[in-house]
Structure formats: C-alpha cells, structure tokens
Structure 1
Amino acid sequence: MTYFTEETSEQVVTARLDKCESERFKAVMSSAIKHLHGFVKDVQPTMDEWFAAIQFLTKTGQICDDKRQEWILASDTLGVSMLVDAINHRRPDGATENTVLGPFYVENRPHREMGDNICLDGKGAPCLVDGIVTDEQGVPLKGAVVDVWQTNDDGFYSVQQPDEQPDHNMRGVFTTAADGRYWFTTVKPLPYSIPTDGPVGKMLEMMGRHPMRPAHIHFIVSAPGYETLVTHIFVKGDPYLESDAVFGVKESLIVNFEHEGAGWKAKFPVKLKKKA
C-alpha cells in the first residue's frame, strides 16, 4: 500500500481507477489527474488561491442557463474550443475550414425562403450574402441546409435581449435547390464584446486581454453524406482579426464585404467534405 504524499499523489489517485470498466474513460481520467497534479505542483498555489479557483468554477456554473453558457465562453477564451475543433475537423485542402460554434446557438431556428431578410429589427446597413454549397470537386449540392446567425447592430444576439429583440432576430435556415446556391439578406456585422459581467470577463480583465470579437456571421452547413461544417465568415479589415477573444479567425474565412449602393454584399462559397 502506497499512501498519499506530495511525491506520490498522481500514482495514488490513478491507482483508484483499477476497477473502471471503460478503458476510454480510464485513459481520459488518468491523463486529467496527471496534468492537474502536475499543474498544482508547478504553480504551488496557496490555500486562498486554490479556494479562489474553486469559486471561479462555482460561479461559472451558477451563471449558466438555457440562454447563456459561461463554460463554453471559458473554453472559447482559453483556446480549448478551437483546439478540440481543430483535432476533430482536420480538413483536406479545398474543403471549407471549421471554427468555433460559440455560446449563443439556439435550437428550433426558423426555416426561411431563399433571399429572406433575417434582420427583423430594422437596424444596421443592409447586406446580401450569397454563395454556392458544393462538394470538394465543386459539384453543387441540392438540399444542403445553411443555418446562419449573428448579432444585431447593437452587438447582441437575440437570446441576450429576449425582451428587446424580435423572436429569432438575425437567425435563419435556408435549403439549397439543385444549383446549390443560397442567398439571404442581413446587415453588415460589426465587432462586439463577449459578455464581461461574469467570471470569464473578470478572468480576461486580470489577464490583460480585451473581450472583443471581430465582425462575423455564424454558419452551420450540412448535407446528407457530408460532414457538417460549423464556421464563420469574418469581415476583411476588421481591427480585431488578429486578436479575437476566442481565437476563432482563420485566414481562409476572411471575406471581402463590398459596398454596393446603399448596402453591402459578400460572397461565401462553401465546400463540404464527404463523410468517410
């Protein structure tokens, strides 16, 4: 029997996993214990510092509800969401790249007619977004579902202002015809701040980091037989492209928004990867 000491802590704790029936869970927990104990030994926190860490975890959970996911925000701002996404979506050359889902996606979005305006509050500069959904060889995909959402011109998602914005403002789902083309009207996105009134905002402040995200529109694109794509398009020239608070920018997703008449237009062709 080996008793718990500073030197043996990792081995003693992982030994308690000997009856774990799931080999995958055992491997995950063994690694988590190894790295957590290594972190504590490296940092050597005081009791007050460790209690502050426990309070951060507690408050992060307490602020979560069906409209706000502070844990996703924490994962995003620490770069973990992007790392997990990169590991799970290694794209071949030519397929459109993934990026983070973000904490403000909602279920039961409205299906709209092609070309509809998703801006229901009338704020912002009108913008037409269009493109073609194809496979990696450029063959148009019929029946591809294009799910989009973004903040309004005040920088808030509809779920953040349920009493101020119309239901499903700045959200819509579109289905392509045989030509694979999609198009919808929205407003040109603007940079905005992620929520800073919770523990993640305080963490960023203490790290000396800003909470800004560059202007973007969220996309989820799916089609039978193809991997689902979760991505954004970012506005070329945005001042926060190189310092996105959630590390979500990829060069291939930066799109030129062109001024046209009283509004804007942007093209975003999508290439989906076939399922293995």
Structure 2
Amino acid sequence: MSDAAEVSAQQQEVEARLVDTVVASFDACEDPRLKQVMVSLVKHLHGFIRDVRLTEEEWGAAIEFLTKAGHITDDVRQEFILLSDTLGASMQTININNEAYADATEATVFGPFFVEDSPAIELGGDMAFGAPGEPCWVSGTVTSTDGKPLAGARIEVWEADEDGLYDVQYDAGKRAARAHLFSDADGAYRFWGLTPTPYPIPDDGPVGKILTAVGRSPLRASHLHFMVTAPECRTLVTHIFPEGDPIGWKDTVFGVKESLIKRFEQQPAGTPTPDGRVIEGTWSKVVFDIVLAPGDA
C-alpha cells in the first residue's frame, strides 16, 4: 500500500479534480440541507479513500459486506443498525441530537429490538411475562427539569432475558420482557422486570465477523431499556446499567454513561418485596428517577 505522502502532485491533482466534479454534481439540488449532507459525505468519503489508499480488492470486500448486511436484515434483525452501533455512529448521533440540558437524564442508543406493540401493564405490574431471569423491582419518578412531577408520562421498557435474548429473537410475534406503563399523578412509576445480564449482539453475520477480525467482543453491558414520552417534553431513549457490571465500559456499542450506572441492590431469598409478591429465590431492586428536558431543548 502506498503512503499518502508518496502520492505525486500530478496524481493528487487527478484525485482532487474528481472530488470537485462529484461535489459540483449537486449544484442543482434545491434542498439546501440535502445538498449540505451529500457534499460533506462525498468530501469525507473521498478523503477516507485517499487517506488509506483503498485498493480495488478492499473496495470489493466492502461492497460484499454491505450486500451480506442487506441480505441478513429483516423485520426483526437490522444489521445496518448493528453496524452503526458498533462503529459508535449511533451513539454519536444520539449525543448530537440530545444536547445536555440542566439535569435532564442522558440519552443513549435505541438498539435494534424495540417494537411498537408492547403490552400495557398497570403500575407495579410484571413486564417479564414469563421470560427467564431474576425478578427486579424498578421504581422512580418522572419529572421535568424544573422539578415538576409529570403525570401520565408513557414509559416503554424492554430488555433481554437471562439467556441474552429478546422476545422477538425467539419468535417475531412473541411479547415478553417488554411493556409500557404510565406514571401516576405524582409522576411515580414502578414495575417488576428482570435483573439485567450481559449478552452478545447478534454476531453470526457480517458485523460479527468484523468484530472478530479486529479483536473486539460482541458483548453488550447489562442494561434495561427505557423510552419515556410526555407532552411538551423531549422524548428520552435511554438505558440503565448495573453498577459493577463485568462488561461495563467495554460495551460494544459505546452506550454506557456514568450518570446511567445505577445500583441494583441484591435481595436475599425470603426478603419481603415492596408489593407483597412472594418470590422463592433472590431478587433485586433499583431506583431510577427520570428527568425530561423541554421539547424545544
């Protein structure tokens, strides 16, 4: 491979001329934002190609990778989201579009396993719906950044079971370890979920092969997903992560943030539960107070 510094002035001129020609091809674009995005994309893409002196074989391998990613993607599995996640592109997009505001809860990646038709549960209900795992009592409040309780906030929750799988990975129509509920008049919420455990992202496809090739683990840090919406507030998509998780900051999609690490307190077998539920084995509990930024923040 040739070093970029060794490229002759004549060759550099040929390459630069092509960049200018491609950029000029967008001159007639009437959508200024689309034009901005496409021009920047071309400049950065060509800059990358020229920087690494991409070979034709490597270009072909990239096309093959994208083709395989398309073939493996379906209504349940989104390989392109996995690619975006593992390159940190998803997390960076989240950072840009969820600017820090006062003490609002930080956002993190959406993930590929959210579905629209989650079952509703009452406050204190069980979102596991029979999914295997240690029970976990999750409670907290939803407030605005000025401390006002947000009644009726919709709280979507979903997670993997103790085997590291989401319901839709078993059966596209199955619904377990996911639900939605609403905060009460005081902005409080509570439900039973599962104590989160680490699991690998789907690594039997092209994204998994890349991770293996570069020596990276496919494991995600243990987490519980939340999406919280309330009128006149910015929608929050986030997770919470158990303190002391063995994966932690090595999370393969770079989703962990210090403020989202919470203490999941382990409870010995026989410990009374907050709602009187009888649990034969161990269980855990965690408090997650959610603060929503205003919708125009």
Determine if the TM-score, normalized by the shorter chain, exceeds 0.5: yes
SS of 2:15's equivalent in the other structure is coil
Distance 2:16 2:224 in 1: 50
Deviation at 1:47, TM superposition (A): 1.3
Is structure 2 residue 288 aligned with structure 1 residue 268? yes
Is structure 2 residue 132 aligned with structure 1 residue 112? no
Is structure 2 residue 160 aligned with structure 1 residue 151? yes
Q: Deviations over 1:183-239 (max 9, x none)?
A: 110111100000101111011111110011111000001101100000000010001
**Is the Cα contact below 8 Å between 1:140 and 1:180 reproduced in 2?**
yes
State how 1:10-89 maps to structure 2 within 5 Å. 10-89=19-98
Partner of 1:199: 206
Deviation at 1:70, TM superposition (A): 0.6
Aligned counterpart for 1:258 among listed residues 255, 262, 265: 265
Distance 1:185 1:7 in 2: 59
Aligned counterpart for 2:169 among listed residues 160, 163, 169: 160
- How many correspondences in the alignment? 271
Distance 2:294 2:47 in 1: 40
Identity %: 49
Q: Deviations over 1:13-34 (max 9, x none)?
A: 1111121111111111101000
SS of 2:103's equivalent in the other structure is coil
SS of 1:148's equivalent in the other structure is strand
Rg larger in structure: 2
**Is the Cα contact below 8 Å between 2:140 and 2:189 reproduced in 1?**
yes
Distance 2:168 2:114 in 1: 9
Partner of 1:246: 253
Q: Which amino acid aligns with 2:180?
A: V
State how 1:186-225 maps to structure 2 within 5 Å. 186-225=193-232
**Is the Cα contact below 8 Å between 1:9 and 1:37 reproduced in 2?**
no
**Is the Cα contact below 8 Å between 2:131 and 2:177 reproduced in 1?**
no
Deviation at 1:59, TM superposition (A): 1.0
SS of 1:233's equivalent in the other structure is strand
Partner of 2:186: 179
Distance 1:266 1:220 in 2: 17
Deviation at 1:121, TM superposition (A): 2.5
Deviation at 1:6, TM superposition (A): 2.2
SS of 1:32's equivalent in the other structure is helix
Partner of 1:99: 108
Q: Deviations over 1:100-122 (max 9, x none)?
A: 00011111111111111111225
**Consecutive unaligned residues in structure 2, runs of 5 or more:** 1-12, 272-281
Distance 1:5 1:156 in 2: 51
Q: Deviations over 1:146-174 (max 9, x none)?
A: 100000111001111118xx821000100
**Is the Cα contact below 8 Å between 1:131 and 1:268 reproduced in 2?**
yes
Q: Give TM-score scaled by structure 1 length.
A: 0.95
SS of 1:21's equivalent in the other structure is coil
SS of 1:265's equivalent in the other structure is strand
Pairwise CA RMSD = 1.3
Deviation at 1:131, TM superposition (A): 0.4
Deviation at 1:93, TM superposition (A): 2.8
Deviation at 1:7, TM superposition (A): 3.2
Q: Which amino acid aligns with 2:84?
A: S
**Is the Cα contact below 8 Å between 1:130 and 1:183 reproduced in 2?**
yes
Distance 2:219 2:58 in 1: 28
Partner of 2:142: 133
Distance 2:140 2:287 in 1: 5
Distance 2:162 2:18 in 1: 52
Q: Which amino acid aligns with 1:133?
A: V
